[in-house]
Structure 1
Amino acid sequence: MGTIKVHEFTTLDGVIGAPMWTMDYPFTEQMIGAVGPLTASSSAILLGRTTYEMFGPAWSSRTVEDDPGAPFFNETHKYVVSSTLEKGDWEPATILGGYDADMIREFKDGIDGGIYISGSGTLVRALIADGLVDELHLFVYPVAVGEGPRLFPEGGPQTTMALIGAEGLDNGVVHLTYGPAKG
């Protein structure tokens, strides 16, 4: 059975969209040490359509010389939740169809190892609401940008999770790890 591990770069005010604000904070060895285990322990990538379509052009031209993460993103099988996309062009990829919690549970049961998710805010919100996220890794950058898509938007349902870990990184980012709420 797979374990869904979500990775999100976020600001102090909760913005997760197009993280250009990360450029002011170096991707240090300590940051690599925090993100690396998420990909190293994953045998599949699960993405929403928008993130898949953004990641494909960004990652497909990169090599290990450009970025040590490139082989993971380019060689690992990607599964895309989308009701509009019929075929993926960043291979290997499988289009799962529109979001359905039971389909995701079945998908999760068929994967050995971690299932890595990055970005994909709409998908992640649905997975959290349906209790399907095993680990939520928030990398909180010390900046507030004032506007943009949030993981937990205003007016959304109350969400309670359990803190699994907290680590301050040398670039000013804080890595918070949450799991399902106890009880």
Structure 2
Amino acid sequence: MGQIAVHEFISLDGVFESPSWTFEFGFDPAMGETLAGVTGGATAILLGRTTFDMFAPAWRDRTVEQDPGAPFFNETTKYVVGKGAPTEEWGPSERLGGYDADAIRRLKDDTDGTIYVSGSGQLVRGLLADGLVDELHLFVYPIALGAGERLFTEGSSPTRLALLDSDVYANGVVHLSYGPAAAASQDQA
């Protein structure tokens, strides 16, 4: 049985959309090591359709010389959640259709290793609400943007999480790794 590990770049005020605002902070090599740890055991990628369509042209022609993560993103099977077919072609991929918690539970049951998720806000909100996220990795940037789509939207149900680990990088970014609160309290018992 697999587990789902989500990775998000997020501002202090919770904005995660279009993370070009992260560029001014640079990419600390230690962040790459942390991300490699998250993706290292991954055998599948789960993405929302919009994120898939954004990632495809950004990754499909990258080589390992340009980015050490290129083989992972280009060669790993990507499962795409969302209405409508992806508009982009990109390596091995399968369309799952609209969000269906039971279909994702079956994917977890049928997967050995980690199912990696990045971006895909609507999908991640559904996964969190349905208790399907095993690890939530937030890379919090030292900036409040004041506007933009937030990962945790106003009016959503409370989401209880337990801190598993944290790191601070030289560029001011903080990595917070969370798991389900219930699982963490059982581990402590």
Please state which band the TM-score falls in when normalised by the shorter chain: over 0.9
Give the Å deviation of 1:88. 5.9
8 Å CA contact retained: 1:88, 1:95: no
Structure 2 equivalent of residue 178 of structure 1: 178
Give, as a single letter, the amino acid of the residue that structure 2 aligns with 1:85: A
Q: Is structure 2 residue 149 aligned with structure 1 residue 149? A: yes
Structure 1 equivalent of residue 136 of structure 2: 136
| Partner deviation per Cα, 1:39-78 (whole Å, 9 max, x = no partner) | 1110100000000000000001111111111111011110
8 Å CA contact retained: 2:49, 2:86: no
Structure 2 equivalent of residue 73 of structure 1: 73
Give, as a single letter, the amino acid of the residue that structure 1 aligns with 2:157: P
Counterparts in 2 of 1:11-90, with a 5 A limit?
11-85=11-85, 89-90=89-90
8 Å CA contact retained: 1:64, 1:71: yes
Give, as a single letter, the amino acid of the residue that structure 2 aligns with 1:102: D
Structure 2 equivalent of residue 160 of structure 1: 160
For residues 146 and 64 of structure 1, the distance between their equivalents in structure 2, rounded to whole angstroms, comes to 36
For residues 28 and 44 of structure 1, the distance between their equivalents in structure 2, rounded to whole angstroms, comes to 25
Give, as a single letter, the amino acid of the residue that structure 2 aligns with 1:152: F
8 Å CA contact retained: 2:43, 2:76: yes
For residues 133 and 167 of structure 2, the distance between their equivalents in structure 1, rounded to whole angstroms, comes to 20
For residues 103 and 83 of structure 2, the distance between their equivalents in structure 1, rounded to whole angstroms, comes to 13
Give the TM-score normalised by structure 1.
0.96
Give, as a single letter, the amino acid of the residue that structure 2 aligns with 1:111: T
For residues 64 and 28 of structure 1, the distance between their equivalents in structure 2, rounded to whole angstroms, comes to 18
Please identify runs of 4+ aligned residues in structure 1 that moved more than 4 A: none
Give, as a single letter, the amino acid of the residue that structure 2 aligns with 1:44: A
Structure 1 equivalent of residue 123 of structure 2: 123
What is the number of residues matched between the two proteins? 183
For residues 93 and 87 of structure 2, the distance between their equivalents in structure 1, rounded to whole angstroms, comes to 8
RMSD of aligned Cα (Å): 1.2
Identity of paired residues, percent? 59
Describe the shift of the 1:60–1:160 C-alpha distance in structure 2 as closer, same or farther (beyond 3 A). same
Structure 1, gaps ≥5 residues long: none
For residues 146 and 38 of structure 1, the distance between their equivalents in structure 2, rounded to whole angstroms, comes to 29
Give the Å deviation of 1:83. 2.2
For residues 13 and 28 of structure 1, the distance between their equivalents in structure 2, rounded to whole angstroms, comes to 21
8 Å CA contact retained: 1:88, 1:94: no
